[in-house]
Structure 1
């Protein structure tokens, strides 16, 4: 998909609908929404009773008549009506009243690089249902690269690895376009599942999904990891609550297995790039972004396997919406080629 910076400057709002979190950027204001992409619905009445962080805390703790749903999967809107209802509640009444006093705004939304026409249409209909008179689609990879501060508009290679909740995208960019890209079904949820399976097999313990992310902090801290970690869960045999002291190194090995899929994607992308661009990456290295970029051991694994520098963005989770916001604010200028001397 092509990006017109001129049309993007006319937009007043930028949206990043991720499988894990939804982020909204308002022009001349900044980031106004950063909440989990979750809604809790009363199946008896059809009413949405909670969205965002409050709804996420309900996961696995609701009675039969309350269902926790995720209207976005893999960066694609799978339930347009629910996504619209969730966004209305996240944006709040104040923003909607501001829109009613002005002409209907244009909006920009991030979509995955390999999104099919149906997925693109779903993203457009989601924002159109909120009152946007025009919706611009922007590749998530380009928006994230801009948010990371990479010089994507220059004739130099930049490689970015965007780790999401369900998928990871790897791309090489030059002159504002994607030279080669690859997607693998490996993300934060995949790593969480690997940790849960390891604890089930090694300790006969069922760990709640929401307890896995705090464990990542222990795995990523060398000082804490040397002391070990105690986790609380349910015994597989008896069903009773139980606590165990886990072997941190064993959990790290369980995590490394799914992360090797990202290495295969990087190799595939490099094979499709011209040699001159690959040579640029030897000095510039790889930029990690996305909500799962801080997975323990990911940067070390990539650095050891590729032999090039690996950097993690300052705020990896919000890079996409911040990059899209920078385009709306006019902070991104196209690279001007020097005219040939005749």
Structure 2
């Protein structure tokens, strides 16, 4: 952990700025913001038109002078000014005024594992723009593990996989610290892209921007397994004529297209296990992997990992908000650290 629990207890609010959604936890009030990390801007005047869910519904439906932007990519703030404006509007005037009453306003933020100093500085400056005098950074893997109830402070192995929109992070934790961890630039967006490219190449069909989730295509029921429906009907736009057209899609072919990006996730899990001490790997044979993050809900993803690794795989309750809940638990002081006092001579 980058910061002590005592420092986190002094923070007044915590932010989990993800590529897909932004979540804000206020001490004493709970999770008050859970909105898409999207903003719509008028390019003529520079005015912010909408943020959150309303801005996300505008994607692909705006006139030329309105642009829908995502100020966060892969858990990293790529547009500090826009991220700051988006957070201001998501919090609202009432909440901002309440927070600013604290003369020494402190904030905490989740950062991806292995984030470089520039990425850490970007999230820090974003929260300083909201009035925070001090910003504490917490590794997303630690926050998510605490949020889903894993005993991270004990001397036993716990393995967590944070499945985000743009990245997947895998780690083995013990004694409140990360023993081994890896991050790969593969997430829910990569799976969506694989499905879109498959339909474009094989069926000359272009899907609407809001309809690329595999959940809406064919992978409901048994998801990525071979026990789901053999075919499904998909409506989109013909690449050649530009006219609306529906086609019958073979779900087995869709599953094959998805396997390519998911193979990188399996390689990531293997590397983390190879870098772990044998005693911790033995613990994981019984406890398995806990999946968190929005992409953990991809139908059949857990079954595929179970078959490929031979380990138990569990999806956390409300996996999408685990990191924010863990951050809130540390702010509220609900986590008791394991005290290791030096032995007397």
What's the TM-score once normalised by structure 1's chain length? 0.96
Match of 1:271 among 274, 295, 314: 274
Secondary structure, in 3 states, of the residue corresponding to 1:292?
helix
Paired residue for 1:25? 25
Query: 2 CA distance for matches of 1:168 and 1:212?
Result: 19
Deviates more, 1:17-26 or 1:230-239: 230-239
1:197 has 2:197 as partner: yes
Paired residue for 2:332? 329
Deviations 1:231-267 (A, max 9, x none): 2110011110111222222212211221011110011
| 1:250-265 paired onto structure 2 within 5 Å | 250-265=253-268
Q: What's the offset of the Cα at 1:141?
A: 0.6
Query: 2 CA distance for matches of 1:119 and 1:6?
Result: 24
Deviates more, 1:258-267 or 1:290-299: 290-299
Deviations 1:39-74 (A, max 9, x none): 011111000101011111111111111111111111
Secondary structure, in 3 states, of the residue corresponding to 1:219?
coil
Match of 1:291 among 287, 291, 294: 294
Deviations 1:192-241 (A, max 9, x none): 00110111122111012310226357413139942743221100111101
| 1:29-40 paired onto structure 2 within 5 Å | 29-40=29-40
Query: 1 CA distance for matches of 2:77 and 2:105?
Result: 21
Query: 1 CA distance for matches of 2:200 and 2:100?
Result: 53
Q: What's the offset of the Cα at 1:76?
A: 0.6
Paired residue for 2:3? 3
Q: What's the offset of the Cα at 1:305?
A: 1.2
Unaligned runs of 5+ residues in structure 1 are none
Paired residue for 1:53? 53
Q: What's the offset of the Cα at 1:157?
A: 0.7
Query: 1 CA distance for matches of 2:230 and 2:253?
Result: 14
Q: Residues 192 and 214 of structure 2 are in contact (CA less than 8 Å); yes or no, is this contact kept in structure 1? A: no
The 1:293–1:66 alpha-carbon spacing in structure 2 relative to 1, beyond 3 Å, is: same
Secondary structure, in 3 states, of the residue corresponding to 1:108?
strand
| 1:132-151 paired onto structure 2 within 5 Å | 132-151=132-151
Paired residue for 2:252? 249
Deviates more, 1:288-297 or 1:213-222: 213-222
| 1:313-324 paired onto structure 2 within 5 Å | 313-324=316-327
| 1:1-342 paired onto structure 2 within 5 Å | 2-213=2-213, 215-216=215-216, 218-222=218-222, 225-226=228-229, 228-337=231-340
Query: 2 CA distance for matches of 1:217 and 1:136?
Result: 41
Coordinate RMSD, CA, aligned: 1.8
Q: Residues 222 and 299 of structure 2 are in contact (CA less than 8 Å); yes or no, is this contact kept in structure 1? A: no
Q: What's the offset of the Cα at 1:137?
A: 0.4
Secondary structure, in 3 states, of the residue corresponding to 1:46?
coil
Secondary structure, in 3 states, of the residue corresponding to 2:285?
helix
Query: 2 CA distance for matches of 1:98 and 1:75?
Result: 27
Query: 1 CA distance for matches of 2:130 and 2:60?
Result: 30
Deviates more, 1:156-165 or 1:292-301: 292-301
Query: 2 CA distance for matches of 1:97 and 1:340?
Result: 48
Unaligned runs of 5+ residues in structure 2 are none
Q: Which runs of 4+ in 1 moved over 3 A?
A: 214-218, 222-225, 337-342
